[in-house]
Amino acid sequence: MKQSFILFFSAIIFFSCNNKETGDEKKIVDNKISLKTDTTNIVKLTDTLVIYESTCRGCKYEVSTNFGVSDSLNIVKLVDIVTADNNPSDMNGGSISKTLLLVPVKPGITNLRLYKFWTMEKTAADSARFISYKIEVKQ
């Protein structure tokens, strides 16, 4: 009796943990590509490009930090900036996550410059601070 109970329980666990796809299930595809500065980023038109940035939490730049994108051939467009504060509310300092979402709009090879501004007013000094990304968009 005890052995049949263990066998029955083991069979239930085995079949409930079996996550084999059937024909009716669709594969979930994550098309987010994190851009890298040290290489040519090869992406497709269907991909979402992601750049992870941050700003200081509780400092004078927290609210005013903003970003600009300059694309040499207008191949990639900045569509959204997602802000997340993952720190406990009673914590002082830390950083706030800024996730930049970009989408390719046509195929080609481009050089993208990401500008990070500390204030709402953009100055000549701001244009000297940027990060470059080389991106090749394929069909």
pLDDT digits (tens, 9 = 90+) for 53-106: 999 998 998 889 999 999 989 999 999 999 999 989 888 889 999 999 999 999
User: Which pLDDT belongs to residue 104?
Assistant: 96
Q: Which of 18-32, 92-106, 123-137 has maximum average pLDDT?
A: 92-106
Q: How far apart are CA 82 and CA 95, in angstroms?
A: 14
Under the banding of pLDDT at 50, 70 and 90, the label for residue 22 is very low
Query: Token digits for 53?
Result: 């940035």
Q: Does residue 109 carry a pLDDT above 80?
A: yes
Report pTM. Answer: 0.74
SS3 103: strand
Cβ proximity of 50 and 33 under 8 Å: yes
Query: Token digits for 46?
Result: 């269907």
Question: What sign does the CA torsion over 55, 50, 107, 46 have?
Answer: negative
Domains in the chain, ordered, with CATH?
Answer: 23-138 (2.60.40.2020)
Question: How many CB atoms within 10 Å of residue 19?
Answer: 6
Largest CA distance in the chain: 82
Over residues 27-36, the mean pLDDT reads: 76
Instruction: Report percent pLDDT > 90 for the chain.
Output: 55
How many residues are given for the chain? 139
User: Which pLDDT belongs to residue 2?
Assistant: 52
Backbone φ and ψ for 75, nearest 5 degrees, come out as: -95, -30
Q: Are strands 48-56 and 32-34 parallel, antiparallel or unpaired?
A: parallel
Backbone φ and ψ for 7, nearest 5 degrees, come out as: -65, -45
